[in-house]
Chain A
Amino acid sequence: MSKRVAIVGTGQTFHKSHRPDVNGQEIINEAVMRALEDADLKIKEIDAIVIGNMDHFEGINYVDCWSVDGSGGMMKPIIKLTTGGTTGCTVAIGGYHLVGSGMFDRVMIIGWEKNSESDTTGAITTAFDPVWDRLVFAGAISGLAAEAQAYMARYGATDRDGARVSVRDRKHATHNPHAHLRKEVSLEDVLASPMLADPIHLLDVCPRSDGACAVIMASEDVAEKICPKPDWIWATATRHSYSYLGDADYGRLTSMREGSQELWKKTGIKEPRKELDVIELYQPYSFGGLIWIEDMGIVGPGEAPQYIWDGNTDMGGELPINPSGGVIATNPIGATGLIRCAEAAMQVMGKAEGRQVPDVNFAFSSGFGGCWWTDMILHGRKKPE
């Protein structure tokens, strides 16, 4: 990268299950306006726009064109990036590339979704191979259940371990006014909730939300003039692994392992558990909160349940995970990954209000989706060397 890049402003909607009061362009505009307000910038000061959402979710193919009324893309360079569940993190990485290249000084990055407008499983099915997987595919939850079953069999974890993760995230969400679901639950509540796909109970998984998020990135030439303490992007990594559902190593997230190893190598991080201060993990179901932090190298294989039971990832613990409440509390899918990025940035900038983790030096945010794809960003308080 020829220029260092920082996040100088973020904006989110107040996420809900239905937003009948606004159309897609209008919900996008709410997030964009809040990001501009946060950075104290005018839309005319934005040089380019990156936007993304899930294909087929709203049935609008040229979202980059159609959204200009809300995005501020009128007579500006604007591109759409869409990579399924990872979209929100991908748009952030795309914006980082645009600014880092030196071509643009200030880029508006937008993720959005109105999940209430279509059938999520019907739309997700269109992501899979029409001749092979689509005929026997049973929706997103069944694939996650297969991952959880494989992990439990390999390491002896239980559904109570998964439920503990859900209890944590749902408790954290009560401190986030932007979260869609803000209700504390007990272990017993999770385990007594309806079984969707063994071992996943209703309260183990994310909701479908309407919402949007916007993040403004700026080059090192202007970032500190816009924001005295911006959130510096230290590195990003992306792993999109394969095409067919049966190719994955169920019980381990290979894309997370390889991506995070790249991230630690790029940034010189030796012990992520000690060096990271907070994680905003794209974790659409509770068991991912066990499996994937092992693949990140936070703890060893099979060690996540005990680490989480000991309270290490709760607010006030060694390494808080999902202070925002995470994906289990809020899930406007195309925005979900970008909300992780925005929340991590807010932690670094000290703007996370009631969910602030003290003295954040390094924060990690990620995206997850597609066929076990992962992308990720390392955020830091200090300007990278």
Chain B
Amino acid sequence: MSDPFKGIEPMVYQSKINVPYSWWAGDTASKFYITLRDEKIILGTKCETCNKVFLPPRKVCPSCFTENREWVTLADEGTVLSFTVARRRFAAIPNNKKVPVIWGLIKLDGADTAMLHYLDEIKPENVTIGMRVKAVFSEVRQGTIRDISHFKPVQ
């Protein structure tokens, strides 16, 4: 195919979508984030029908469709189910994280679902599926999932 722009400087109309958002976390997620921020405790909800423990906490069990009334305190330690390493910098990586960045799926003790978070204080080549890791809480906590800074290997 010939180059459609050969000898031509295209007139480009630049635009962007501008929609501000303010998402409501709801009472259930708010309880999780407030407890994480103020007490460094990770909470899940438990389905009384199928006994499954959810992280993020679910108000209603997606399978049983019954309300999850019971809150469960989860361990700050868990097991790596899988992981990946980013060696090139891209926009989704926070400014205070340096490549290589390791993402792990971590199933905390007491939970039936895994959480996605950062692994750190370990070299990528030393990470293994099945390894035990522990949450490191952020010094400054603002009620977000990054109130957990990262997970590090259990010594």
- Point out the residues of chain A lying under 8 angstroms from B62, CB to CB: 68-69, 72, 74
Interface window among A112-120, A140-148, A174-182: A112-120
Contact with B along A122-154 (1 / 0, CB 8 A): 110010001100100000000000000000000
Residues of B within 8 Å of A29, CB to CB, are 59-60
Closest partner residue, chain A, to B61 (CB atom): A69
Q: Is residue A59 within 8 Å, beta carbon to beta carbon, of the partner chain?
A: yes
B11 shortest CB reach to chain A, Å: 12
Q: Collect the chain A residues with CB atoms within 8 Å of residue B22's CB.
A: 116-118
Of the listed stretches A18-26, A272-280, A329-337, A346-354, name the one at the interface; the rest are far from the partner chain: A18-26
Contacts of A117 in B (CB 8 A): 21-24
Nearest residue (CB) in B for A36 is B65
- Interface core residue of B17, B24, B65 (most chain A CB under 10 Å): B24
Q: Which of A22, A58, A119 contacts B20 (CB 8 A)?
A: A119
Out of B17, B20, B23, B60, name the residue touching A26 (CB < 8 Å): B60
Bound-state CA distance A130–B20 (Å) is: 19
User: Which residue of A22, A42, A118 is within 8 Å of B27 (Cβ)?
Assistant: A22
Tell me the chain B residues, 94-127 only, with Cβ under 8 Å from chain A. Answer: none
Chain B interface size, under 10 / 10 to 19 / 20 to 34 / 35 or more: 20 to 34
Q: Are A56 and B17 in contact (CB under 8 A)?
A: yes
CB of B51 closer than 8 Å to a CB of A: no
B104 to chain A, nearest CB (A): 23
Cα A23 to Cα B57 in complex, Å, equals: 12
- CB-defined contacts of A36 to chain B, threshold 8 Å: 65
- A126 near B19 with CB under 8 A, answer yes
Residues 65-94 of chain B, each 1 if its beta carbon lies under 8 Å from chain A, else 0: 100000000000000000000000000000
A26 and B19 within 8 A (CB):
no
B26 at the interface (CB under 8 A from A): yes
Q: Does B155 contact A (CB under 8 A)?
A: no
Contacting residues, chain A, for B59 (C-beta < 8 A): 22, 26, 29
| CB of B25 closer than 8 Å to a CB of A | yes
Contact count band on A: 20 to 34
> Number of contacts between A and B (CB, 8 Å)?
66
Of residues 85 through 122 on chain A, the ones whose CB sits less than 8 Å from some CB of chain B are 114, 116-119, 122
Q: Is B136 an interface residue (CB 8 A)?
A: no
In the bound assembly, the distance between CA atoms of A118 and B60 in angstroms comes to: 25
Which residues does chain A contribute within 8 Å of B63, judged by CB atoms? 74
Is B5 an interface position by the 8 A CB rule?
no
Chain B hits for A301, CB < 8 A? none
User: Known contacts A26-B59, A29-B59, A68-B62; is A20 also within 8 Å of B24 by CB?
Assistant: yes
Chain A 49-65 interface mask (CB, 8 Å, partner B; 1/0): 00000001011000000
Decide if A70 is an interface residue (CB 8 Å cutoff).
yes
Give CA–CA (A21, B63) in the complex, Å: 22
| A23–B19 CB distance below 8 A | no
A130, B15: Cβ atoms under 8 Å? Answer: yes
Min C-beta distance of B87 to chain A, whole Å: 28
A370 and B13 CA atoms in complex are apart in Å by: 24
In Å, the complex CA distance between A119 and B24 comes to 14
**Please, which residues of chain B bring their CB within 8 A of the CB of A22?**
24, 26-27, 59
The answer to whether the Cβ of A196 comes within 8 Å of any Cβ in the partner chain is: no
The answer to whether A21 and B60 touch (CB under 8 A), given A118-B19, A130-B15, is no
User: How many angstroms from the CA of A332 to the CA of B148 in the assembled complex?
Assistant: 35
How many angstroms between the C-alpha atoms of A20 and B13 in the bound complex? 39
Which residues of chain A come closer than 8 Å to B25, judged between CB atoms? 23
Subset of 20 A-B contacts with CB under 8 Å: A21-B24, A22-B27, A23-B23, A26-B26, A26-B28, A33-B60, A33-B65, A36-B65, A43-B65, A58-B23, A59-B21, A69-B58, A114-B24, A116-B22, A117-B21, A117-B23, A117-B24, A118-B22, A122-B20, A131-B13
List the 8 shortest-distance A-B pairs measured between CB atoms, nearest first. Answer: A23-B26, A69-B62, A122-B19, A22-B26, A43-B65, A20-B24, A74-B62, A21-B27
